[in-house]
Structure 1
């Protein structure tokens, strides 16, 4: 479920730390009251990470109820590269979601620049 975003309309991550002891009601309240978003958007996944970056929670409305997913990485060295410096919600592209689930950062450090008019040497 959490490794594939092809059936999702949108993926949002709550940056910073979230107390992962919170359940469906508390997490949906964070989405609606803190960030002014609608947790009942069909096909929209909201993701949270606690202080330990080897586990995350995800909340999605399925039309007849919420689905709460909890993922814990088993290898001790494995960590999610979660943005910690902001207290906001970020919408991820499908590429960023894939990077996050693979343990990579969602903000690439450096990318290859496109060349409009290459010159011959």
Structure 2
């Protein structure tokens, strides 16, 4: 849709080329960002010793993802995104009492200020 919209102004070839380059740059910067984010997380959890191992695994996963069928890549991505909810739910349940107490304190102090 974006290519068709750009093509009405700039022509078919330029629109297709522009979108292809923009998507490639976006994908590359996303991979770099996730690599840095993962490296910092591994460094925090396991120290500097685990960083090289993570980087090698990350590169292997990127290469495997590039040559795998698209449906498999989406299924794996969806699964891991869903699995990220588990630690969040554990944190929510563990802190639910604290959150309830702080909410009560906030609203009782807010009502006292009126």
Give the alignment's TM-score, normalised by structure 1.
0.24
Looking at both structures, which has the greater relative contact order when contacts are Cα pairs under 8 Å and sequence separation is at least 6?
Answer: 1
The higher radius of gyration belongs to: 2
TM-score (ref. length: structure 2): 0.25
Higher helix share: 2
Higher strand share: 1
